[in-house]
A and B are shown apart, each in its own frame.
Chain A
Amino acid sequence: MNPLSNLTASLWTPAPLAAPGVWFRDQASTFAGQIDWLFYVILWICVFFFVLIVGMMIAFIGRYYARPGHNEESTPHHNNVLEASWSIIPGFLVLGIFGFGFTYYLELRTPPADAYEINVIAKKWNFAFQYPNGVIDANLHVPVDRPVKLILSSDDVIHSLYIPAFRVKCDCVPGRYSTLWFEAKTPTASFDPDRPPSETGSDENGYDLFCTEYCGQGHSTMIAKVVVHESGTFEQWLEEANKYDPSESPVERGAQLYKDRGCSQCHSLDGAKLAGPTWKGTYGTQQATNKGQITVDENYIRESILEPMAKIREGYQGVMPSYQGQLKDKEIAALIYFIKSLQEGTEVPDTWTDVGGVPGQDAPDSEGANGAEAAAPASDSGDSPATDSPATDPPADDSPAADPAAPGAAAGDGEDQPEEGADQPSAVEDESGDANQTNRTAA
């Protein structure tokens, strides 16, 4: 924001129409100040012309309304000086508005080279924010005072990512990457990941992040929160988010993923029919699909997550996007445990340790980071259409193909010998480094 704008902004804003809170909420990014300034400039130009036009209209009605004794007077039918002045003066004003709008827009569209990059995958009806170390979160966590570039893509229809407090917006288009960037300047006071963003006020628990391109049934619930971390704490959050505690419950982890990663938009837990089949009491049952009868077992669930179109349950449209490359093996395993836990009489393990450790748990700092970088698109222009859809890219992290038996095997262990897992020291060893650092308890 240039000093001139600063000065002028202080001149504009004290007026009643510009009272804080009437037109805008927080100004939480470096863009917000200058865009609001331009808004107020246009606002006052509009107020001037509105008062001029409506004022003259009312004055003319007051003076010249038809009444006994009042006659119209003959006046010229045209006046080129008047016509020229009311063409040229507004012409110069709109030229000025255009100029400022254009300058600020170029800033909005030109991310600095050193910006921190986060991949965003939009799908019906949630956003997934993927960090360089492979962590995927349902909310956008960013450091304060550092340029952040979002690389946007969509897995199904067009979505649009909009952060009102930052005054930024860009569409997520299937088949191409688009980018937007910002620099947050006000850290979030507090953040509780368990409060659903669509039921939390705009002023609390982080800044709102909306989908603003209509995308179907759950469009109005496609809301996330932006958490701006104090300097230094962002890296800490990122590190912790990448760790799984072997002593946590896979079922609770699955329940958390169910909420965070958009499953809840289409699959109910109470038997209600939404866009997709309910998860309640579904595990182990026989179901009709477009490819014949199947049993809802680990393999079917896994396949439905990674290739949703393979077998579509009868009575449902095939609308689910693939989660290929967006869920790690351990996350798929957790979801399977969670679905199993919703079927009465099915035994599920209490901790990961019970089933021989967290499946596919690896050294996240090295492999995860490399994987995510490889998946990031080379071109960030956003102007040229990418020829291949992001969905068809190779998976970013733990390739599911690399270890196809993992969740099934793990689940099988859990079923057959639920107690045995506790005796497997190797898993504990694998995770011991992480386990004492973090204890992310799922709600």
Chain B
Amino acid sequence: MISQSRQHSLLQAIEEDPDRRVDIPQGPSYLTNPPGTTFWQGVASWVFTLDHKRIGVMYLCGIMTSFLLGGFYAGWVRFELWNPTPNLVGGSVQEAQDAYNQAFTLHGAIMTFLFIIPSIPAALGNIFLPMMLGAKDVAFPRLNLASFHLWCVGALFFVATLLSSGLDTGWTFYTPYSTTTSTSVIFATMGVFILGFSSIFTGLNFVVTVNTMRPKGMTWFKMPLFLWGIYSTAIIQVLATPVLAITLVLLILERTLGIGIFDPLLGGDPVLYQHFFWFYSHPAVYIMILPAMAIISEVIPVFSRKHIFGYTFIAYSSVAIALLGFLVWGHHMFTSTESKLAAVIFSALTFTVSIPSAIKVFNWLTTMYKGSIHLQAPMCYALSFLFLFTIGGLTGLFLGALAVDVHLHDTYFVVAHFHYVMMGGTLIAFLAGLHYWWPKMFGKMYNETLARIACLLVFVGFNLTFFPQFILGTQGMPRRYAGYKPEFQFYHQMSTTGFVVLGTGLFLAAGVLIYSLFRGKKAPNNPWGAATLEWKSCSPPTHHNFEVQPWVGSPYVYDDFVYDPDEEGYVEVLPDLKRGLKPAEKPSDQPATT
């Protein structure tokens, strides 16, 4: 709620001079086809669309399906671990062990490559990056479609993996295990290889779009922080993903032709694979977390009705994380016979990455100071992000400290740590973004109360699932174990119980959102009073996003937005100064060219 006197004066102003009220012309939704379209034309209009929003929606469907599949394997893992002896499937312990090894591998591979990496950039970023720039589309719409099609091909390779002999290497494909196992390593690595190109194309597209398509008046430091986050992510995608591609090609050649680069009997070195792999995969964790931080940087100011605090520090910290993230891959190998010198350097660099993350957290927190905090679903998720990411980030300190890492490496402590960062961080921020932008994407409002209950269930379930794993780790429970010592059972059962609560929360959240598509109230143009450009279109947007060019103001100044009870949303009130400039500056009736 903006200050009452200010709200009053704004309401008075638009009453006196209705021209100061920014009216957003409505148009046909990008989701619907013109009347008379046949079914197959309709299908083709989606599959071959060049509309970044439709591509984003298709990505959203794809990654949510992947998430469901990855979640199924997570459930397999958790229920297998209910008992100390592997017995979930099959007649023998060995069969249950094999099934478990496949389950944790597929859980990790699907969640990482098919869900988290594309989740925020490719789905939400695709829809909102151009809109935040006030643009009609990304710089290369065809390349954008190509990267989605590549994603589908990559996903098909994963389906082929599942239908053939599965995968049991762990999502990291460490050699020499991955070159000797009989499971479908080649299908899976081909899939990851192709998904990598999808990721590179998307990143390239975003870099060019941000560089060339910013509207007049939006300088680098007037961009919304979401764009800074996505831009930093895109740079990592373009620079790091090729290394993964090369590594996986070498792995495939090793498996098929026995070139020996990773095989000690032929003069190769299996630890070299780990260096190659983590040179990509450590930056990849920043591909996963930077967009999440970018969403939080949008949600917290809007729902606190406050300008973001420390804009430049948050922006630069994204870039700093992106660059430093390239220099710390060796901290995954402190116990892999890495030299002492290398370990010390990687440890020191690892600690430097903690500073930009700390800067972000403190800035978000200070943004809330003296604000007016609206606890709607997106903000509830953002606050749970702050809570969970703080734990995830702080527990990284244990793992960065060399001597302590030797004890904790490859135990459940690491599992808990990265789930707090990747799931408590990225997934929760993704949900914050999904709830935040849902009204814009689909033009429907969801049930706020149920969405908040779902958020609470997710929060409680998440902590119940993963906090006990920190204790399992310090007590010495190794990861990727299908069975375990009886004294660990209490914590494992807590964890599995937490999984049930977490799963219930996620299904409730999904149900609330899907229900809204059919029965939800029509969404106003700007339900939250946000100032970034994507809210200056109708909900849902038209094919060209903006029927009239939006007014480019500061992305974090909410003083000119007033809540209109008739619309159940916010309307923008133009500053009085601009009156003299009209009508040229306020393009009231210039439809965007096609």
Contact = CB atoms under 8 A, between A and B. Distances in A.
Given A72-B2, A214-B177, A217-B101, A46 B305 contact: no
Contacts of A237: none
B447 interface: no
B481 interface: yes
B181 A87 contact: no
Contacts of A175: 264-265, 268-270
A211 B386 CA distance: 35
Contact of B401 (A91, A101, A201): A101
A140 interface: no
B362 interface: yes
Interface in B267-316: 267-271, 304-313
A162 to B, nearest CB: 6
- Most B C-beta atoms less than 10 A away, residue of A61, A201, A382: A61
A60 B475 CA distance: 36
Interface stretch (A18-26, A245-253, A424-432): A18-26
A104 B402 contact: yes
Contacts of A7: none
Contact of A382 (B1, B337, B344): B337
Contacts of A107: 403
Contacts of B371: 60, 64, 72
Contacts of A214: 101, 170, 174, 177, 479-480
Interface in B129-184: 168, 170, 174, 176-177, 180-182
Contact of A105 (B2, B98, B402): B402
Contacts of A61: 368, 373, 375, 383
B366 interface: yes
Nearest to B348: A98
A83 B308 CA distance: 14
Contacts of A383: 337-340
A216 interface: yes
Contacts of B168: 216
Contact of A108 (B3, B373, B390, B406): B406
B267 A91 contact: no
B337 A64 contact: no
A288 B322 CA distance: 57
Nearest to A168: B406
A403 B398 CA distance: 54
Contacts, number: 298
A172 B137 CA distance: 52
B176 A157 contact: yes
A195 interface: no
A42 B369 contact: no
Contacts of A42: 397-398, 401, 404
A66 B373 contact: yes
Contacts of A366: none
Contacts of A200: 485
Contact of B1 (A70, A221, A319): A70
Interface string B242-271: 000000000000000000000011011111
Nearest to B349: A98
Contact of B485 (A43, A83, A106, A202): A202
Nearest to B337: A178
A198 B372 contact: no
Contacts of A241: none
Contact of A212 (B177, B306, B409): B409
A219 B556 CA distance: 53
Contacts of A38: 401, 403-404
Interface in A51-97: 53-54, 56-57, 60-61, 64-66, 68-73, 75, 77-79, 82-83, 86-87, 90-91, 94-95, 97
Interface string A332-349: 000000000000000000
B475 A217 contact: no
Which of A34, A108, A200 has the most chain B CB atoms closer than 10 A to its own CB?
Answer: A108
B4 interface: yes
Nearest to A25: B475
Given A170-B335, A175-B269, A53 B361 contact: yes
Interface in A150-164: 156-158, 160, 162, 164
Interface in A397-443: none
B486 interface: yes
A432 B312 CA distance: 85
Interface in B399-426: 400-407, 409-411
B404 A35 contact: yes
B391 interface: yes
Contact of B269 (A73, A105, A219, A385): A385
A218 interface: yes
B487 A203 contact: yes
Interface string A372-400: 00000000001101010100100000000
Interface residues of B, number: 98
Interface string A172-190: 0111101000000000000
Interface in B329-367: 335-340, 343-344, 347-348, 351, 354-355, 358-359, 361-363, 365-366
Contacts of A23: 471, 474-475
A50 B390 contact: yes
A279 interface: no
A71 B2 contact: yes
Nearest to A60: B368
A77 B309 contact: yes
B348 A71 contact: no
B394 interface: yes
B589 to A, nearest CB: 35
A75 B363 CA distance: 13
B97 interface: yes
Interface in A137-158: 156-158
Contacts of B62: none
Given A22-B471, A158-B174, A60 B365 contact: yes
A160 B97 CA distance: 19
Given A57-B368, A98-B401, A213 B410 contact: yes
Given A64-B372, A72-B2, A215 B177 contact: yes
B484 interface: yes
A219 B371 CA distance: 53
A109 interface: yes
Contact of A164 (B369, B373, B407): B407
Nearest to B339: A383
B522 interface: no
Interface string A207-232: 01011111111111100000000000
Contacts of A211: 478
Nearest to B554: A77
A42, A77, A165, A174: residue with the most chain B Cβ atoms closer than 10 Å: A77
Contact of A220 (B3, B97, B271, B366): B97
A158 B355 contact: no
B553 interface: no
Contacts of B270: 158, 173-175
20 contacts: A43-B398, A57-B368, A60-B373, A61-B373, A64-B373, A65-B374, A75-B370, A79-B310, A82-B310, A98-B347, A105-B340, A157-B174, A162-B411, A168-B406, A169-B406, A213-B410, A214-B479, A219-B97, A219-B101, A221-B483
Q: Which 6 pairs, one residue from A and one from B, show the smallest C-beta to C-beta distance?
A: A175-B264, A164-B476, A101-B401, A104-B403, A105-B402, A220-B481
Interface of A: 22-25, 31, 34-35, 38-39, 42-43, 45-46, 49-50, 53-54, 56-57, 60-61, 64-66, 68-73, 75, 77-79, 82-83, 86-87, 90-91, 94-95, 97-98, 100-109, 156-158, 160, 162, 164-165, 167-171, 173-176, 178, 198, 200-203, 208, 210-221, 272, 274-275, 317, 319, 382-383, 385, 387, 389, 392
Interface of B: 1-4, 86, 92, 94, 97-98, 101, 168, 170, 174, 176-177, 180-182, 264-265, 267-271, 304-313, 335-340, 343-344, 347-348, 351, 354-355, 358-359, 361-363, 365-366, 368-375, 383, 386-387, 390-391, 394-395, 397-398, 400-407, 409-411, 471, 474-476, 478-487, 556
